[in-house]
Amino acid sequence: MRLRELPPRFWLLALLLPPLPPPARAETSAQDVSLGVDWLTRYGYLPPPDPVQAQLQSLEKLRDAVKVMQRFAGLPETGLMDRQTLATMRKPRCSLPDVLGAAGLVRRRRRYALSGSVWPKRTLTWRVRSFPRSSRLSQETVRTLLSYALAVWGAESGLTFHEVDARHQEPDIHIDFARAYHQDSYPFDGLGGTLAHAFFPGEHPISGDTHFDDEETWTFGSKDGEGTDLFAVAVHEFGHALGLGHSSAPNSIMRPFYQGPVGDPDKYRLSQDDIEGLQQLYGKVPQTPQGTPTRRPLAPPPLPPTPLPDSPTWPIPDRCEGHFDAIANIRGETFFFKGPWFWRLQPSGQLVSPRPARLHRFWEGLPAQVTVVQAAYARHRDGRILLFSGPQFWEFRDRQLDGPARPLTELGLPPGLEVDAVFSWPANGKTYLVRGRSYWRFDEEARRADPGYPRDLSLWEGAPLAPDDVTVSNAGDTYFFKGTQYWRFPKGSVKTEPDSPQPMGPEWLDCPASTSGPHAPKPPKATPRSGACDCQCELNQAAGRPPTPFLLSLLPLLAGGLASRCGGSS
Ligand code: ZN
Ligand code: CA
Ligand code: ZN
């Protein structure tokens, strides 16, 4: 979508964007503006769109909304949608609005009690109605963590919480792990984004109920910050279930953004701001001689299940044998996929590790049953990474899955067809999808398949049919790969170099040239390495020169914290 085609309110908000260098400007602003307006509306900073009046927001009001958001998030109050502001909007968070009242929930269908409401009793009952469908946390651990999270609030208010069996009693607080739309006004959004929400106290059956997005990777005490800490999020949500809204206080657990693990549940204490909010609703702890309530001992979370590739049926493949399922240039690095494994080649031409990393350890949220990636590419317009398997594809924001599996028909392929190769060609910015001897072209700007396709792959003069994959190097040359060979098409050209094909091994994979190859082997590059990838697993490595202008448009994403850990080959 071009800026020009946006509704007027977007135009106005575009004025809120700080000036950016020319190449990234158009793409970044249209996208960010729509993200910004949606975000500000969803979390109560702007009134919901009014289809009857359809009046324009004044620039002043929009700037004010951005400023309130910035104050809430502890950012400098520039009133501009600057990088820091956009990065904050992309953080995982609670689904509930930050601003209640004037612009927020009140304007929605008011079905449930809102902030300020309290439970008219001091003993509340709870029950987990549905557990995570797949989690490394056992049901017992989930229940224990939740009971601790409730006890945190009980300790400062004297409220007591009892876990009950629904057969005997309807609990005050139902707890569910749910996916997508789950029969309330706050559908979940898959991995990342919104994490959980809870309903304020009241008379309605849903009051006090607490929902967690079952598509998050719920963890506890994860040392490397992997996944989302269930205890930390549960303490926050139970604050809502007791009647607290969001807080902008720096140490408050009621800040709307996910802050990471909060330490040992046994020792965790609420911040002063949270205690004051709670005690406004329920008063101080009554002085009784009973002492502290007894808590169940906290079972240590079980170790994560062993991933599939460790089993003997998945021997570690030899990269020098070629025959990759997919090859893609992702942010300047070349990724070689084979079965549930992949290797990475840095922009400098060095392998991150001679040992492959596990697919599912790196691509968070890729369904476990996907053990082959048939094609992959990084989409130019927004930096999303698309992985293809069977008649479907998955979209990743950095390393995180973003949304459900989607059919290839969305990219213009006939139903049921799979792809051998997908690549984005810099010469025209279009995306090419190859199957057998045919290829289709997708227009990313217009978001539709180009007419007149499929065409015959022989139009790419010299290209092999049914390539394993095709990708474009940082220098802009197009490479077809098949088996153990590659074909190079110079930048912008659809005619292969006369000396193609060449063996992949020496050029790409630090492998000796096969003696049986049809061409004289090139001297292998001197690339000494230790064989471990422990320290070099950032998705966007600092090593090497980033390809431009692609990275420019990613700057807001990168500023949002591309914290990526080692994909792990050991
Ligand atoms: Zn919240
Ligand atoms: Ca989510
Ligand atoms: Zn819900």
Read off the pLDDT of residues 395-420 as tens digits, 9 standing for 90 and up.
Answer: 998 888 998 889 888 998 888 788 99
Task: Round to whole Å and give the CA distance between 411 and 450.
Answer: 10
**Which range has the top average pLDDT, 14-28, 154-168, 231-245?**
231-245
Considering only 213-227, 254-268, 377-391, 536-550, which range has the smallest mean pLDDT? 536-550
* Secondary structure class of 292 (helix, strand, coil): coil
Is the pLDDT confidence value at 268 over 90?
A: yes
Confidence of residue 368 (pLDDT cuts 50, 70, 90): confident
Task: Report the pLDDT value the prediction gives residue 124, as an integer from 0 to 100.
Answer: 96
Section 325-348 average pLDDT: 88
Q: Are 231 and 261 in contact (CB under 8 A)?
A: yes
> 83, 157, 166, 172: which is closest to 124 by C-alpha?
172
d(CA 319, CA 316): 9
Distance 85 CA to ligand 1 centre (A): 19
Q: Distance from the CA of 233 to the center of ligand 2, in angstroms? A: 12
Instruction: Quote the pLDDT of residue 35.
Output: 80
- How far apart are the CA of 157 and the centre of ligand 3, in A? 26
> Considering the chain, what percentage of its residues have pLDDT values greater than 90?
41
> What's the CA-to-centroid distance between 481 and ligand 2, angstroms?
37
The pLDDT of residue 508 is above 80:
yes
Please tell me the CATH code under which domain 123-282 is placed. Answer: 3.40.390.10
Amino acid identity of 107? R
Identify which ligand lies nearest to the alpha carbon of 112: 3
d(C-alpha 345, C-alpha 329), whole Å: 9
Q: Give the dihedral of Cα atoms 87, 90, 94, 99; nearest 10 deg.
A: 60
Q: Is residue 446 predicted with pLDDT exceeding 60?
A: yes
Maximum average pLDDT range among 140-144, 347-351, 361-365, 532-536: 140-144
Write out the residues surrounding ion ligand 3, Cβ under 5 A.
184, 186, 211
Active site residue 156: no
State which of 247-256, 394-403, 415-424, 481-490 shows the largest mean pLDDT: 481-490
Residue 131 Cα to ligand 3 midpoint, Å, equals: 14
Q: Which residues partner with 7 through β-bridges?
A: none
Tell me the pairing of strands 448-449 and 455-456.
Answer: unpaired
The C-alpha atoms of residue 507 and residue 512 are separated, in whole angstroms, by: 9
CB 484 within 8 A of CB 505: yes
Ligand nearest to the backbone CA of 258: 1
- Please tell me the number of the ligand nearest to residue 44's CA: 1
Expressed in angstroms and rounded, the spacing between residue 453 Cα and the centre of ligand 3 is: 44
Point out the ligand nearest to the CA of residue 186: 3
CA-closest candidate to residue 149, choices 253, 224, 302 = 253
Compute CA distances 62 → 49, 348, 350, whole Å: 13, 45, 48
**Residue 441 and residue 428 in contact, taking contact as beta carbons nearer than 8 Å:** no
Distance in Å, CA 259 to ligand 2 centroid: 15
Which pLDDT value is given to residue 56?
A: 54
Check whether 88 has a pLDDT greater than 90. Answer: yes
The yes-or-no verdict on residue 276 having pLDDT over 50 is yes
The residue among 6 and 198 whose pLDDT is bigger is: 198
CATH 1.10.3210.10 matches 319-558: no
Question: What is the pLDDT, as a whole number, of residue 287?
Answer: 61
Catalytic residue among 156, 237, 333, 507: 237
pLDDT at 288: 52
Mean pLDDT of the chain: 77
Ligand nearest the Cα of residue 200 is 1
Query: Could you write out the three-class secondary structure of 5-48?
Result: HCCHHHHHHHCCCCCCCHHHHHHHHHHHHHHHHHHHHHCCCCCC
| pTM listed for this prediction | 0.49
* Residue 517 clears pLDDT 50, i.e. is over it: no
What SS3 string covers 156-218? HHCCEEEECCCCCCCCCEEEEEECCCCCCCCCCCCCCCEEEEECCCCCCCCCCCEEEECCCCE
Q: Is the pLDDT of residue 561 over 80?
A: no
- Distance, in Å, from the CA atom of 96 to the CA atom of 525, rounded to the nearest integer, reads 55
Spacing, Cα 127 to ligand 2 middle (Å): 22
Give me the residue spans of the domains in the chain: 3-90, 123-282, 319-558
The reported pLDDT for the residue numbered 1 is: 41
Q: What is the DSSP letter of 306?
A: P
Query: Would the CATH topology of 123-282 be identical to that of 319-558?
Result: no
